[in-house]
Amino acid sequence: MTDDIENTTPDSDTGMDDDWAAAMAEQAVSDSAAPSAQPAQIFPSFGQAEGKASIMNELDMILDIPVQISVELGRTKITIKNLLQLAHGSVVELDAMAGEPMGVFVNGTLIAQGEVVVVNDKFGIRLTDIITPSERMRKIGR
């Protein structure tokens, strides 16, 4: 009885090593007895694409995924005291200058810059500069 207690105490690694060795040996026996199993092909592999039509079919899967686009006029930091004092008609000063391009974000990632336009009484943004993936990587590295 004391031998069983010794092997299960946290300070004794030999009991756990023996258990792992037994489990590994059992797995090796079952692996060698079973025929070689192939992994289930639940999802198609992107590497097995054959031709442009197949690649387009794979890309079509992601084309309907919705993304969040937002435009940022500017930012500022204020204290909670000043935040609580804001009321209807309050003006909050932003760090952006008038006429400066605004950032266009997709899911929180800057992808372009642009300027505000008004079309049929609705605001829009005219893209003036697209951020390339290499520029985005360069900004992350800073």
Q: What is the pLDDT of residues 20-68, one digit of tens each?
A: 777 777 777 766 665 555 655 655 565 554 566 777 777 777 888 899 9
**pTM surpassing 0.95?**
no
Closest CA to 19 of 30, 9, 7, 10: 7
- Residue 81 confidence class, pLDDT cut points 50, 70, 90: very high
pLDDT given for residue 16 in this prediction:
61
How many angstroms separate the CA atoms of 110 and 138, rounded? 13
pLDDT given for residue 2 in this prediction:
46
Q: Which residues contact 127 (CB under 8 A, 6 or more apart)?
A: 104, 112, 113, 114
Phi, psi for 116 (deg, rounded to 5): -70, 140
CB–CB of 113/103 below 8 Å?
Answer: yes
How many angstroms separate the CA atoms of 63 and 126, rounded? 23
CB–CB of 6/14 below 8 Å?
Answer: no
Q: Which domains does the chain have, with CATH numbers?
A: 2-33 (no CATH), 66-141 (2.30.330.10)
pLDDT given for residue 76 in this prediction:
93
